[in-house]
Structure 1
């Protein structure tokens, strides 16, 4: 299916590995102009080489407000405009809510929530000049229901709510905002890979008991949904949170 994303200017945060890298590959396959951003220049350079030099790279720390402003400025300077923003950067820290220091809650919100809010606001300013664009926030099924670490899940839940609020505001400007809530995704640099290597029997039992599809998801399966949501094929999808989880979520909606 031709998603008509050729020559669209796409920025992906957390794009040097895992889901972000696969999203970059999906947009490249559609002929888009792709830039990936993350903290580690080494990982960025390796990913650029692995992708045949077809992406531009921007080293940044999206937990810093000033860095976020510089990121959007650098991208627009390089590409002239921004058509698609993928807020994929994130991370999980802490343990139980009662045992986790407040500092970790603040850090989780800055990385997983405020970074996406700020970058979205900056991108909207640019997209309004072209009367169109798409913003996709990568959240989690545990932003929709309980489970996992409180710091991460609180932030992802807030991001799902923000997605709907912003979507309703900017659809009149031709800008669509949606979120993707992945379930348990297995990739080489992720936590599930480490857990699988440490205790394969326990993790296999988790898959059998918790994921109706009977396997982990892949980054590519998330990436395919991201490319679709960014395209005009998804023109009537606004403010949605879409599970990509093999049935893992227990919610009815």
Structure 2
């Protein structure tokens, strides 16, 4: 007697709710969407980071007193964290720049998540609305040398002058941007009016951001950050 042969059928793979598959994952959003989730530079306790956060088009202009109060309240709430510190900031119409220190990549991510949530809640409360506020994930640029930190300080604290120069406007002279932490900055070449109230940012602890950058010269309130620098920090 000849044994019966067992027939084999090709069955489709079972559907699952996980694993790698085409089209999976959160889709980028916003006009400048697509900030990569991979290949970020290494963040260490000794390297400051320049962070940029961009807003969605419906969010009100950040360069107003009411928006400044919201941002200052959020910064003040995270000021005393041990593993994440915002040292400097500046507000532009639809984005903000931060110079931060973090004990590592995880601390940076957690710190920025907490700060972003506070900012979003505060801005939504101000606008009497709900929903998303930020266009996409933050952009982070790790600073490793005194020259890089000096350039970043100039770009953040004097960013309003850079925007005016690119628009063909006169930037003015001898004044510190009121929508920044410039009044608390101790590295100006000129004598500037100091803030009466305590600042909402933390003092730097890294050598680069506290002292090292001074090897490249103090900042002038009349500087205009170079266009090549702007390209690096807004890429």
Q: Which has the larger radius of gyration?
A: 2
TM-score (normalizing by structure 2): 0.28
TM-score (normalizing by structure 1): 0.26
Q: Looking at both structures, which has the greater relative contact order when contacts are Cα pairs under 8 Å and sequence separation is at least 6? A: 2
